[in-house]
Amino acid sequence: MSIPHISDRIIDPMMALAGCSTRQRIVVVGAKSMDLMMELQRRGYLLAAAAGNCGRPAGQYEVALVDWRRRTLGELEATMEWLDDFLSLRAVLVIWLDAQKPAAKETLRAAVTKRGFVVLQGAEHPCGCALLARRSQAYPLQKAA
């Protein structure tokens, strides 16, 4: 019996959090993005692409899975800026991190909110933590009566 690679262990919780279907276009970002994309495709998510082969930005992706293990939150801002034009107006974003202190989690929430996302959920796992957010355009403001 082989021990699952750590990348394999984060796919299931990320996909569960995102609520993905095999018909959605998914972009995977991070150091192991090619490995994660290939695993997703092996599982039937044939529209998954890694950051290196995701094409030109055209708002074409409905889901972004960001593997941000062993990286600083400060570096995430540039990645979020790059990723922005690839995501549709109703996009879901899942960011996976190493286990974080509460202050770092708040910094992450603030950075995601600043980019126009509403944080919906956070989750703790034995090999890290994840944050689920959706574009704020997916939640239009109600007009006053």
pLDDT, tens digit, 9 for 90 and up, residues 28-62: 999 899 999 999 999 999 999 999 999 999 999 99
pLDDT, tens digit, 9 for 90 and up, residues 77-116: 889 999 999 999 999 999 998 877 777 788 888 889 998 9
pLDDT at 142 over 90: no
Q: Bridge-partner residues for 143, per DSSP? A: none
pLDDT at residue number 9: 81
CA pseudo-torsion sign 11, 123, 119, 95: negative
Task: Say how far apart CA 99 and CA 144 lie, in whole Å.
Answer: 41
pLDDT at 1 over 90: no
* DSSP H/E element including 48: strand 48-50
